[in-house]
Structure 1
Amino acid sequence: MTQTTAPVPVATEVERAPRARAGRVRRLTGSDRLVLGLMVGVPTLIQAVLIWIPTLLSIGLSVTRWNGLALSGIKPVGLDNYRYALRDYPPFWPAIAHNVIWLGFLALVATPLGVLLAVVLDQQIRFTRLYQSVFFTPVMLSLVLVGIVWQLVYARNEGLLNNLLGTAGTNGAVDWLGDPHVNLWAALIATGWRHAGYIMVLYLAGLKGLDPSLREAASIDGATGRQTLFRVVFPAMRQINILVVVITFIEALRAFDIVWVINHGTNGLELLSVLVIQNLVGEGQVIGVGSALAVLLLIVSLIPIVIYLVRTFRKAD
């Protein structure tokens, strides 16, 4: 009785080729190195020229006294500029208070409004695309243009708001932008109009990317729409929630354009960012003080950014 053996399969060229390629590292050609160098070097150069070098120069100038003309006029003064800003500069603490109010308004009014709009528009209601476009339109406008639009609304004699109230052109007309008791709130409504649309788009994108099975499981378990939203949807969008908080914090700190268009950040609209510009440009410039204010603003701004990056990298690890 003879015993036959099964033929041993011979690897074909197609089967051997991936194995050979897997064990061989492809060397970069000269053109590859050039492309990679440009892709890494150009953005790095732009970042260095526009961000890192000015930041380092601001830190250096914050401990000097300089009139902005001859380099020989730079004199080191240590921390005197910081002491002056914190103790003897009259607009500093009002600006801090206004920035805190700005943050509170965005965090408690504008951001929740944007989240609410996102949740409502995610329900596949009629004309949802139209509503999204309407609420997102202010985001596409520059903050300067937003300020100009709201100037037309708030103008004392010809403004839309006073015309609706029937007080335009009379002694009872409210000076929405000139009265220091109300102009901050008028500016907050203007910036909230834009901020809510921005948050809506971010949150709506997060809701669209949410796994539908989470809501289906909650529905099967008998959860109501409200319970599903607060106990399933919001916890599942933790990263989006953190991003929204960070953006809200940064938007409150970098607020500048609207108040600058209104009255250059004076008469009740003082903000940290405006004080920086007022001290760095124009007549009576105090570059050292302006740089010190910029450094203080940078330090405060880095707090939410660092927290967000730490949580993001920790999750990636």
Structure 2
Amino acid sequence: MSKLRLSRSDRVVLAVMVGVPTLVQAVLVWIPTLLSIGLSFTRWNGLAVSDIEPAGLSNYRFAVEDYPPFWPAVAHNVIWLAFLALIATPLGVALAVVLDQNIRGSRIYQSIFFTPVMLSLVLVGIIWQLVYARDDGLLNNVLGTAGTPGAVDWFGDPDVNLWAALVATAWRHAGYIMVLYLAGLKGLDPTLREAAAIDGANGRQTLFRVVFPAMKQINVLVVVITFIEALRAFDIAYVINRGTNGLELLSILVIQNLVGEGQVIGVGSALAVLLLVVSLVPIVIYLVRTFRRAS
């Protein structure tokens, strides 16, 4: 078998196609990540490089032991994960299963549910601000409390603003999961369902005993995406009230310490590294399962 020979122009094109994305990835992702890891072990005011002082693990100890918003932010991220995993993700899977039945107008429904996915999370936050506004918001108008003392301040009340933000997030997340799962269902071998029907399985039995087990890789991917979405939650909470007053999240604490007045570069970097380490757990699990299957 003869080797494939590439012309000089082919090599140039190949080098550009591989080199440019790699360079962009290195400049925008890997180099800042390595710098953040290094800065997490230092004490620096963000001005002159000569002011950088080694700090060992003190930034990590401060973040975990002495930084008041840290554990509330961890709790909020856990609640965010639980809400997405137990409500938003199953809702997206249910939508995919229903729309896979070739019901009338299914493409229209798919477009409707997918529309929030095409919007940025910042825009989603702005839309839901219009829904949740205390004095003239859609929800309080529907409840008949807009402009009255009994109107609920959905984004200002720390007892309810987290749940209001979660509903806004679920609106987008469910559509994203629906698209992923629907693509998996459309690519499923139809003979599996036919065999189940011949064996006398009803629709529910076919779904849980044949379809779901056959979509193991999609199931793992959905779990990983749900986990990452919960950890990187930022935009909606930041648009609402900059992640304060009951909406503290780890990603927002990172930004608060790295940008603006009173910045603490070392602490912000330490928080970013902690968030990175936790985020890598589902990614590594997914990659290990994928490579094992490929081998």
TM-score by length of 1: 0.92
> In structure 2, what is the equivalent of residue 164 of structure 1?
142
Deviation of 1:81 after TM superposition, in Å, equals 0.2
**Which of 204, 220, 223 lines up with 1:242 in the alignment?**
220
Q: Does 1:271 align with 2:249?
A: yes
Distance 1:135 1:163 in 2: 24
**Alignment correspondent of 2:132:** 154
Q: Which amino acid aligns with 1:262?
A: I
1:46 paired residue number: 24
Distance in 2 between the 1:194 and 1:27 partners? Answer: 48
- Quote the residue 1:221 is aligned against: 199
Determine the C-alpha separation between the residues in 2 that align with 1:280 and 1:252. Answer: 21
Give the whole-Å Cα distance in 2 for the aligned partners of 1:311 and 1:194: 28
Counterpart position of 1:288: 266
Distance 1:33 1:155 in 2: 57
Per-residue displacement from partner, 1:205-252 (whole Å, max 9, x unpaired)?
A: 000000000000000100010000000000000000000000000000
3-state SS in 2 of match to 1:179: coil
Q: Is residue 211 of structure 1 aligned with residue 179 of structure 2?
A: no
Compute the RMSD of aligned alpha carbons: 0.6
> Which piece of structure 1 moves more, 37-46 or 273-282?
37-46
Offset, 1:31: 1.5
Give the alignment of 1:156-195 within 5 angstroms. 156-195=134-173
Q: Which has the larger radius of gyration?
A: 1
SS in 2 for 1:104: helix
SS at match of 1:37: helix
Give unmatched runs, 5+ long, in structure 1: 1-21
Residue 91 of structure 2 corresponds to 113
The aligned residue for residue 302 of structure 1 is 280
Q: Runs of 5+ in structure 2 lacking a partner?
A: none
Deviations 1:117-144 (A, max 9, x none): 0000000111101100000000000000
Distance 2:178 2:132 in 1: 25
Residue 30 (structure 1) shift: 1.6
Which one of the candidate residues 3, 6, 11 is aligned to 1:33? Answer: 11
- 1:67 counterpart (45, 56, 68): 45
Q: State the distance in 2 between where 1:259 and 1:62 align.
A: 25
List 4+ stretches of structure 1 deviating above 4 A. Answer: none
Partner SS, residue 247 of structure 2: coil
Q: TM-score under structure 2 normalisation?
A: 0.99
Distance in 1 (CA, whole Å) between partners of 2:180 and 2:149 is 44
- Distance (whole Å) between structure 2 residues aligned to residue 190 and residue 26 of structure 1: 53
Q: Give the equivalent residue in structure 1 for 2:65.
A: 87
SS in 2 for 1:282: coil
How far off is 1:289 after superposition? 0.3
Q: Residues 158-208 of structure 1: CA distance to partner in whole angstroms, max 9, x if unpaired?
A: 000001111100000000000000000000000000000000000000000
Q: Match for residue 254 of structure 1?
A: 232
Distance between the aligned counterparts of 2:220 and 2:3, measured in 1? Answer: 40
Measure the CA separation in 2 of the matches of 1:32 and 1:135.
Answer: 43
Question: Which residue of structure 2 lines up, in the alignment, with residue 15 of structure 1?
Answer: none
What displacement does 1:40 show? 1.4
Q: Render the CA deviation track for 1:5-28: whole Å, top value 9, x for unaligned.
A: xxxxxxxxxxxxxxxxx4x32433
- The structure-2 alpha-carbon separation of the partners of 1:208 and 1:26, relative to structure 1 and needing over 3 Å to count, comes to closer
Q: Is it true that 1:202 corresponds to 2:180 in the alignment?
A: yes
User: Matches of 1:118 and 1:73 in 2, distance apart?
Assistant: 55
Corresponding position of 1:131 = 109
Question: In the TM superposition, what is the alpha-carbon distance from 1:76 to its structure 2 partner?
Answer: 0.5
Distance 2:215 2:10 in 1: 39
Paired amino acid for 2:148: T
- 1:244-267 deviations in Å (ceiling 9; x for gaps): 000000000000000000000000
CA distance in structure 2 between the aligned counterparts of 1:309 and 1:193, rounded to whole angstroms: 28
Percent identity (aligned): 83
Whole-angstrom CA distance in 2 between matches of 1:107 and 1:46 = 33
Deviation at 1:29, TM superposition (A): 2.3
